[in-house]
Structure 1
Amino acid sequence: MTPLERVVREEWGRLVALLLAQFRRLDLVEDALGEAVATAQATWTAANTPDNPTGWLVTAARRRILDRLRAEAMAARKEPLLTVEAERRPREGVMVDDGSVVDDDLLRLVLMCAHPALPPEGASALSLRLVMGISTPDIARLFLVPEATMAARITRAKKKVVAAGIPFAIPGTDAIGERLDVVAHTAYLAFTAGYAPGSGPDLLRAELAGEALRLARVARSLHGSDTLDLLIVLMALQHSRRDARVGPDGALVLLADQDRDRWHHDEIAEALRLLGESERGPAPSSPLAASYRLQALIAAEHATAPRPEDTRWDRIADLYAGLERLTPSPAVRVARAVAVAEADGPRQGLALLDGVEMAGHRLPAVRGELLARAGDVEAARASLSESIALCDNEIERRHLESRRDALGPA
C-alpha cells in the first residue's frame, strides 16, 4: 500500500472533519480534498513522497478552498475572506455524566449527517462516504442497491446538507437522542464494511471495524441507548475474532478452522457481561435494538463454543428465524440457511434458498457450498463459478476458486 493509499483509506474522515471544522463548507471541503488527492496521484513517486503525506493533503486542500473563497468574494464584489472565523472559534464539546467533555470530530461529522432533514438511508450513506471513506460501490453493496442509485443518493444528501445549512456540531442531548438510530445504523454498516470488505485486496479492515466500534462507544457516552449498548456488544463479539480470521499467508480462515486461542477473550468476556445485563433488563426499546440483541446472541453462541463441534447450530438457526421474522431480508435468509444446514443437513439449508434473490456473490457461494456437501458436484461447481465472477474481494475470490478446484475438473 502506498503512503497516499494509506492516508486516503485510514485518514479520510479525519481530513474531512478537520477542514470542515475550519471552513464549514462541505461542498468546498470534499471537492478540494478530491483535487488534492488527484494531484498527489499525478506527482508523488517513491522518491519524492512527502515526509508527512497527511499534512501535505491538508495544506493542498486548504489552499484550494481559500482560492475558491477568494473567487467567490471577488464575484460578489467583496473583499476576499482570507481569515476564517472558525479558526478562532472555540471548539464545542458536550459534557457527559462523568464530567468529561466529548469533542470528537468524526462523531461530529456523523451527527451532522444524521440530521433529521436527511432521510435515514441518505444519512447513513453520506456518513459512510465522508466519515469512513468507504467507496460508493462498496456502500451500494451494503445497501443492496445499484451503484448508480447509491451515487445519486449520496449526491442528494450532500446537496441537502449545504442547502439546509446543517451545522457541523455536536447538538444538544435531546437532538442527539433523535439521531441515535441513524448513528447506530451507520456504525453497524461501517463495521460490516471493515469486517467483510466488498472489494479490494483485504479480507479484513480491522482499523475500520475498530473505528466503527469506537464511534458507537463515544456516541453511547453522550446519550443512554439500549440500541447502542446492544450494537456495541454485537460488534465487540465479532471484532474479538479479528486476529484469527486471516492466515499467515493472508488467506481466509473459516470460523471452524480458526485458532480460538487467538480470539480476544477479555473482549468476549466484557461483551458477554453486558449482554447478560441486557437479557436481565427490559425488552428492547425498538425493532432495531431487538435485531441487534438477536445478532449479539448469535455471535455469543459462536464465542462461547469451546470447539467448532460444540457450536449449538440448532439454537443459532432458531435465533436467525426470529431475526427473519423481525427484519426479513435475503441476507438474513442466507445466514439462516447456513445455520439450518449445519443443524439439519445441506438439503434443508438449500430448501430455504429456493426463490431467494440477492445481489452479489454471497448467495451463489453459499448455494455452491451446500450443493457440494449434498453431493451435487456439477451444480456446486456452477454456483461457485457464478460467485467467483461476482466477487470483487481478492482474498475471498481466491478462496472460492480453491473450493471449486477441490471439486475436481468439470
Structure 2
Amino acid sequence: MGCGGQSATAAVETVYRAESRRVLATLIRLLGDFDRAEEALHDAFAAALQQWPRDGVPGNPRAWLVSAGRLKAIDALRRRARFDASLRLLAEQLEGEAHEAELDEVEDDRLRLIFTCCHPALPADARVALTLREVCDLTTEEIARAFLAAPATIAQRIVRAKARIRDARIPYRVPEREELPARLDSVLRVIYLVFNEGYSASAGASLTRADLCTEAIRLGRLLLELLPDAEVMGLLALMLLHDARRTARTDAAGELVRLEDQDRSAWDRRLIAEGSMLVRRALASRNFGPYALQAAIVAVHAEAPSAAQTDWAQIVRLYDVLLSLGPSPVVELNRAVAVAMRDGPAAGLCLVDALLARGELRDYHLSHAARADLLRRLARIDEARSAYRVALQLVRLEPERRFLQQRLDELGD
C-alpha cells in the first residue's frame, strides 16, 4: 500500500518498538546465531527505512522484515565466503531451506529466546544481562546503569553468554514437558532477580529503580501469555502486588517508610486487584509453588485495611506451607517476624536468635535489624542498640542505612 515518506519512516519506528524482539527471535531460529540474527535485524530495518517511504508499508511488516533479514544474512555470508568456505555452505543451506512457515510459530520463537537466554548452563549474571539485552531490548549502557556495573563488564557477560550458547550447542528450543519444571525455574529466577534489583536495589543511593520493575513485569506478562503455568501466574502476581506498594515505600525525601507506616491510599488498587486474582487462579490450580505462596502472603498484606487488621495467623500458616516446599533461612526469618506479630516479640526473638545461632544469616543485615526491632519492643534497649550497630555494619543500601541509623538514634544514649 502507498504511504508518504514521513509517515512511512514513523511506521518503521513504530514497527521497531512493537515487533523488533519478535523479528529477532524468529531470525535467531532461522539463522542459528545471535550475532548473525542481530546484524540481520539491523540490516532489515535499514532496508525498511530506504524502501517503505518509496514503496509503501507492506501489509505484513513483520513477515517483510523477517524475509529481508534472512536474505540480508545470506548475502552477508556470501560476501564473506571468499575468506571462509564454510560460510558459502552455510549460505547455500540457509537459502535452500524452506521458509514458508517462517512466522507460523513466532510466539514460540519468543518463548525459545527466553529459555535460551535463561539456560542454567549460563552464569546467573550472564542470564540476566542476556535476557535484558535480547528479550527486553535494553542497551548495554542501560543494563550497566541498572546494576551499577561498568558497560564493558556487561558487554563482556553478553559476549561470553553468546559464546557459551554457541560452543556448548545449547539448543534454541522450548524444553520438553518433562524438562519444563526445572528449566522454567531458571527463567522465573532471572525475571524475579531483575524485579528485585528494581524493587529493592542491592546497593546504591536509591531504594527502587522503577524501570527494572517495569521490565520484569513486562517479561512476566509475556511469559504468562506464552506459557500459562501456575508458577508463572504466581510470579507475576508477586511482582504486581509488590509494585503496587512501591511509591509508598519512600517519603518525599527518599527515606524508607516501613510497611505498617505506609499510606495505604497511595497503593495501586488496580495492581492489587490483578495480583490477587492471579493468586486465586494459581492456588486453585493445585500446581502452585513458592512464587504463588509468596504472592499469597503479599496479598494478605495488600488486602488488609490497616496494619493492625493484618491476618498474621494466616500469614504464618502460608509461611509454614512455603517452608514445607523447601528450607530457606530468609523465609524462616520472615516467618519469625510474622510469629512476633501474632504471638508477641518474645516468641519472634526466640526464633531469630535460633536462626542466627545456626550462622546462615549472620552476615544478613535484615536478620540483625529484625532482632534489634524485637529487642526494642521488649524494652531491652542496650541489646537493641548493639543489634542495630551490627545491622549498620552490614547494610549496603543508603536509604536502609539511614533508616537503621534513625532507629538507633531514637533509642538515645
Q: Normalised by the size of structure 1, how large is the TM-score?
A: 0.66
Report the equivalent of 1:186: 190
Pairing of 1:151-300 with structure 2 (within 5 A):
160-166=164-170, 171=174, 177=180, 179-279=183-283, 281-284=284-287, 289-300=288-299
Residues 58-137 of structure 1 mapped to structure 2, 5 A cutoff: 78=84, 95=105, 101=107, 110-115=114-119, 118-119=120-121, 122=122, 124-132=124-132
Structure 2: distance between partners of 1:329 and 1:295: 13
1:250 counterpart SS class: coil
Kindly report the root-mean-square deviation, in angstroms, between the aligned alpha carbons of the 2 structures: 4.0
Structure 1 residues 330, 217: closer, same or farther in 2, change over 3 A?
A: same
How big is the shift at 1:185?
2.0
**Residue of structure 2 in register with 1:307 after alignment:** 306
Q: CA deviation at 1:157?
A: 6.3
Match of 2:392, as an amino acid?
A: I
| Shift of residue 194, structure 1, vs aligned partner | 1.7
Alignment match, 2:398: 394
Q: CA deviation at 1:298?
A: 0.7
Give the deviation of 1:336 after TM superposition. Answer: 0.7
What SS does the aligned partner of 2:232 have? helix
**Who wins on radius of gyration, i.e. which is larger?**
2
Which residue identity does 1:337 align to in structure 2?
Answer: A
- Does residue 408 (structure 1) correspond to residue 412 (structure 2)? The answer is yes
Q: How far 1:92 sits from its partner (Å)?
A: 6.7
Render the CA deviation track for 1:255-304: whole Å, top value 9, x for unaligned: 1111111111011112222322334x3312xxxx3212221211111111
Question: What secondary structure sits across from 2:289 in the alignment?
Answer: helix
Identity of aligned residues (%): 37
Could you list the per-position Cα deviations for residues 198-248 of structure 1 after superposition, in whole angstroms to 9, with x for gaps in the alignment?
111111122212211211111121123111012111221111111211111
Cα deviation for residue 173 of structure 1 reads 8.2
1:322 paired residue number: 321
> C-alpha separation between the residues in 2 aligned to 1:355 and 1:276?
34
Assess, with a 3 A threshold, how the Cα gap between structure 1 residues 94 and 113 changes in structure 2: closer, same or farther.
farther
Shifted more, 197-206 versus 122-131: the winner is 122-131
In the aligned structure 2, how far is the partner of 1:244 from the partner of 1:332? 24
Q: Contact 1:233–1:275 at 8 Å: present in 2 too? A: yes
Q: Which amino acid aligns with 1:278?
A: A
Contact 2:300 2:310 in 1 (8 A): yes
The change in CA–CA distance for 1:232 and 1:265 in structure 2 (over 3 A counts) is same
Contact 2:364 2:394 in 1 (8 A): yes
Aligned residue number for residue 388 of structure 2: 384
The answer to whether the Cα contact below 8 Å between 1:113 and 1:127 also exists between their aligned partners in 2 is: yes
Letter in 2 for 1:126: A
* Offset from partner CA, 1:164-209 (integer Å, 9 cap, x none): 1436x66488699463222112212222222111111111122212
For residues 158 and 364 of structure 1, do their structure 2 counterparts lie closer, same or farther at Cα, with a shift above 3 Å needed? farther
Q: Residues 328 and 25 (structure 1 numbering): CA distance in 2 closer, same or farther, change over 3 Å?
A: same
SS in 1 for 2:186: helix
Task: Give the aligned residue type for 2:267.
Answer: W
Output the amino acid matched with 1:238: H
Match of 1:56 in 2: none
Q: Which residue of the partner structure matches residue 338 of structure 1?
A: 337
Query: CA 1:307–1:101 in structure 2 vs 1: closer, same or farther (change >3 Å)?
Result: same
**Whole-Å Cα distance in 2 between the matches of residues 301 and 187 of structure 1?**
23
SS in structure 2 at match of 1:199:
coil
1:93, 1:102 within 8 Å by CA — same for their partners in 2? no
Q: Between Structure 1 and Structure 2, how many residues are aligned? A: 317
By how many angstroms is 1:401 displaced? 0.8
What is the identity, as a one-letter code, of the residue corresponding to 1:300? A
- Deviations along 1:55-83, one digit per CA (max 9) or x if unpaired, are xxxxxxxxxxxxxx9xxx99x9659x9xx
Unaligned 5+ segments in structure 2 are 1-20, 39-75, 133-139, 149-156
Distance 1:110 1:385 in 2: 43
